[in-house]
Every structure is written in structure tokens, then in C-alpha cells.
């Protein structure tokens, strides 16, 4: 009874396949490989002579575990006989690899592996839909990942993109930018969005050259001016991280050309001009940025710094006050406003601003240092000044300005040995900017004078 059922099942399975020689309904299969189907013995003989002789593999030898491992570059798809790459392959559960597109085509006329006749797994799209349902409902993370991996093994791009999203944002599992990048590199049909996401994750992985190349690939696609502006803006940021300021400036300008409303591009271009001490152009860019993002505290603060450099103190005060209106806890705005008040002689107002900053940010070097400078100006609070400078040195032992100012106070108080020691400490430090270079020159002169005295 069981043998009869098995025979019927075998006949039914054979009838599912066409004759490998003439495409008529098959009535038998090759006894050696169990793959090729035939309608008659004549067709089987003809097919053997024509090509099957070179391709027929014993059933036992066809198992994936029996096959010798091959390099990806030399592995061939046994459906189309072209070379398989890691990007185009689809590995079935039985272990055999074919082109993903070949497997898709195979499903139209067959539902088993061409080599071992094991049933093909669920279609990758169905696996993806199941996984996406679990993703949306936030259920069974392990099952979701497994379904996506199975779908990816069959070359389904949407599954690669969803799993990329999970690793990129750390949804349900630990964030992993390396795996996120690997998944996007496997996507066959790359759109500009894929290249932008790939560039973003490469940037996180500090692969700046690769990120630049990905953004450039994205720029080749036809897309809106706003998207092209975003691509150039992103490129500018990567060049900025590479310290290539010339290229960075170029791409910020291009970003603005494609979208004049790109406030971030105006702001960052203004920052470059500010660093180059081109305060006129910096002011223009910050003003343009505020047209499209009027409540941005960072832009108001930086515009205030430009006014401060241009000695337009009333406008500087207005910008810093507006910064604090938008964000009362802004780091730096109180210090900057204090600098303006200090410059115009309002020492009490400056002191209050520095104290406000220290209240919000107790470890603010700038607030402690500038508060100390304010106390020095009064000549009545030199002890308080030293106290502030000492706090700076606790936070940053090699803060050149703090050592120098303490030395000046010792000199005022005729404590010459201690003053000499502080100036010597300044001379041991390396200046980091023009301000510290100026301090170093002053310290050198004072130290030389003290050597002559004591």
C-alpha cells in the first residue's frame, strides 16, 4: 500500500516537470541525478548526448555539504551558468547558490532546487511581509530578524533595507553601523536614497572617502533641487570633517545655489567665513540663514559674535539677548553678552552674566576665566580673580591665560617670586591660537624683567 502511494507521488512529481529535451509533459526522470525529466527514452538519449552528459551529477554528490567550497569569483549559477557574485547570489536552505533573479524566474515553472530537488523556501517577499508585520507591531524580534535574514539570503532588496534600518537606528537590537553599511552594499537596485543612506552610515564609520563617493553617486540621479542641495550640503559636512575647507565651502555654495532657502548651508558657510575672519560675508550669510530659520539660537549667537568683532556693540547685545530669549540655557550666550558689557565698561552687568552662565554650566572655562578678568579690572577683587583662575586651572591645568593672569596679580601685589614662577609656566606651554601667542610674548617680556630684578 505504502509503495503504491510512493509510486503515485513520484509519478505526480514527474508530471509537474516538462521534458528537458522537447518540453512535452515528463513521464520519467534521470535515475542518476533525479533532476532532468523526459517524456520518452529517445528524448533522454538525445538530451544525454547533447548536453546532459556534462551536467548530470549524482544525487549524493549534489548535496551542498558534498560540494567543494568555491571562491565567490569562480562560483557558477547552475541555472544560467554565469558567475555568481556576493551581491547577486541567493542561497537556498539546502545550501546551493544561484542568482537571485534566476531563482525568481525558476519559481514560475518549478518549486524545487534544480540540484537536489528540495522544495524551495517561502518566497522572499512573503518572508519580508511577515517580518515587517512583526516590526510594525514590535513583536518577536528574534523571529523578525530570522525572517529578514532568510529573505536576504534569497536576494530580496526590501529585506536588506529594513534590516539596515533596524541596525542603523538600533530598533529592538544594538546599534551597529558596520552591519548597516554591509547590508546597503548588498542592495542590487540602488536609488539615490540608498546611496544617501550608505554615505550617512559610512560617515558614522569615519570612512569619509567612501561617503564622498556615495554622495557623488547619489547626485547622478535625477531628483529635485532641494534634494540636490541636501546632497551638496552633506558633502560639504564630510569635507569639513576631513579638514578640506576649500571643498567644504564649494559645496555649501552649491547647496545654496540649488536651494536658497537652505538655512543650514547659509549658517555653515557663515561659520567658514567667520573662521577666515571675513566678517562681512559671515554677517551676510547669518542674516540670510535667519530669514529661513528666524528662531535658531545658534545663528543669533554667531551673528552676535560677528557684530562683536566688527565693534558694533549695540547690535551684538541685541543678538545675544535674542539668543537667550529663544534658549535661556544656551551655552556661551551669557559669556558673549558679558564680553560686550565688559568692553563698554558695564562691569557689574558683565559679572552678572558670567555668574548666570556658571549657574547653568558650573564647569564653563570661559565663564570662570572672563569673570576673573572682570574682577582684575576692578582692582578691588583680586583675591576673587585668583579664585576664578584657580578654578579654571582645576578644569584645565594648561590654560595659558589663567597662569598668565595669576602671574600679573602676583606682580601687582609685589609677590615677585611667585609671579616669575607663573610666567615661567606660561613659557613652557605651546600656544594654540593668536590670543595665546600674544600672551606668550607678554609673559616672555615680564619674565625677562623679573630675572633682572630677582
Residue 227 has pLDDT above 90, yes or no: yes
Q: What is the pTM of this model?
A: 0.68
- C-alpha cell belonging to residue 371: 569673570
Residue 70 has pLDDT above 70, yes or no: no
pLDDT of residue 60: 52
Q: Please determine, for residue 15, whether its predicted confidence score (pLDDT) is greater than 60.
A: no
Largest CA distance in the chain: 120
Q: Does 64 have pLDDT greater than 60?
A: no
Percentage of the chain with pLDDT > 90?
54
Determine the pLDDT at residue 238.
97
Q: What is the mean pLDDT of residues 280-291?
A: 97
User: What ranges do the domains of the chain cover?
Assistant: 1-56, 398-454
Question: 75 or 193: which carries more pLDDT confidence?
Answer: 193
Confidence of residue 181 (pLDDT cuts 50, 70, 90): very high
**Average pLDDT of 128-136?**
86
- For residue 27 the three cell numbers come to 513521464
Alpha-carbon distance values, 220 to 208, 383, 392 (Å): 19, 64, 51
> DSSP string spanning 143-183?
HHHHHHHHHHHTT-HHHHHHHHHHHHHTSSS---HHHHHHH
Look at residue 7 and tell me whether its pLDDT is greater than 60: no
List, in sequence order, every residue forming a beta bridge with 25; answer none if it has no partner. 18
By CB neighbour count within 10 A (0-12 exposed, 13-18 middle, 19+ buried), where does 243 fall?
exposed
User: What does the mean pLDDT of the chain come to?
Assistant: 86
Amino acid at each position: 500500500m505504502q509503495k503504491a502511494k510512493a509510486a503515485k507521488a513520484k509519478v505526480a512529481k514527474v508530471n509537474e516537470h516538462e521534458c528537458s529535451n522537447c518540453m512535452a509533459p515528463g513521464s520519467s526522470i534521470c535515475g542518476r541525478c533525479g533532476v532532468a525529466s523526459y517524456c520518452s527514452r529517445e528524448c533522454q538519449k538525445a538530451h544525454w548526448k547533447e548536453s546532459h552528459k556534462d551536467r548530470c551529477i549524482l544525487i549524493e554528490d549534489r548535496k551542498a555539504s558534498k560540494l567543494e567550497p568555491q571562491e565567490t569569483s569562480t562560483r557558477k549559477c547552475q541555472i544560467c551558468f554565469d558567475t555568481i557574485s556576493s551581491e547577486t547570489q541567493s542561497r537556498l536552505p539546502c545550501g546551493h547558490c544561484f542568482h537571485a533573479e534566476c531563482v525568481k524566474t525558476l519559481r514560475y515553472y518549478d518549486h524545487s532546487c534544480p540540484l537536489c530537488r528540495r522544495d524551495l523556501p517561502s518566497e522572499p517577499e512573503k518572508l519580508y511581509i511577515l517580518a515587517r508585520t512583526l516590526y510594525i507591531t514590535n513583536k518577536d524580534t528574534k523571529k523578525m530578524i530570522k525572517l529578514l535574514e532568510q529573505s536576504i539570503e534569497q536576494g530580496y532588496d526590501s529585506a536588506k533595507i529594513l534590516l539596515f534600518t533596524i541596525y542603523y537606528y538600533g530598533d529592538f537590537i544594538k546599534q551597529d553601523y558596520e552591519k548597516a553599511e554591509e547590508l546597503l552594499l548588498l542592495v542590487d537596485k540602488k536609488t539615490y536614497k540608498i546611496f544617501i543612506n550608505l554615505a550617512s552610515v559610512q560617515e558614522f564609520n569615519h570612512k569619509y572617502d567612501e561617503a564622498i563617493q556615495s554622495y557623488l553617486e547619489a547626485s547622478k540621479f535625477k531628483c529635485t533641487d532641494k534634494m540636490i542641495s541636501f546632497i551638496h550640503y552633506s558633502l560639504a559636512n564630510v569635507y569639513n570633517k576631513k579638514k578640506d575647507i576649500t571643498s567644504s565651502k564649494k559645496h555649501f555654495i552649491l547647496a545654496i545655489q540649488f536651494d536658497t532657502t537652505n538655512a543650514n548651508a547659509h549658517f555653515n558657510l557663515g561659520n567658514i567665513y567667520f573662521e577666515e575672519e571675513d566678517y562681512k560675508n559671515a554677517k551676510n550669510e547669518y542674516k540670510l540663514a535667519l530669514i529661513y530659520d528666524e528662531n535658531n539660537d545658534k545663528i543669533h549667537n554667531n551673528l552676535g559674535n560677528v557684530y562683536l568683532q566688527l565693534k558694533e556693540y549695540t547690535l551684538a547685545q541685541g543678538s545675544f539677548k535674542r539668543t537667550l530669549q529663544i534658549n535661556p540655557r544656551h551655552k556661551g550666550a551669557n559669556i558673549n553678552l558679558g564680553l560686550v558689557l565688559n568692553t563698554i565698561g558695564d562691569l557689574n552687568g558683565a559679572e552678572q552674566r558670567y555668574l548666570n552662565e556658571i549657574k547653568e554650566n558650573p564647569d564653563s572655562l570661559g565663564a570662570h576665566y572672563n569673570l576673573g578678568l572682570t574682577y582684575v579690572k576692578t582692582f578691588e577683587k583680586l583675591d576673587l580673580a585668583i579664585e576664578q583662575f584657580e578654578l579654571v586651572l582645576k578644569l584645565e591645568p594648561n590654560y595659558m591665560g589663567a597662569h598668565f593672569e595669576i602671574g600679573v596679580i602676583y606682580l601687582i601685589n609685589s609677590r615677585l617670586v611667585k609671579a616669575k614662577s607663573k610666567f615661567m609656566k606660561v613659557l613652557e606651554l605651546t600656544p594654540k591660537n593668536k590670543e595665546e601667542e600674544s600672551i606668550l610674548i607678554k609673559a616672555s617680556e615680564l619674565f625677562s624683567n623679573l630675572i633682572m630684578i630677582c
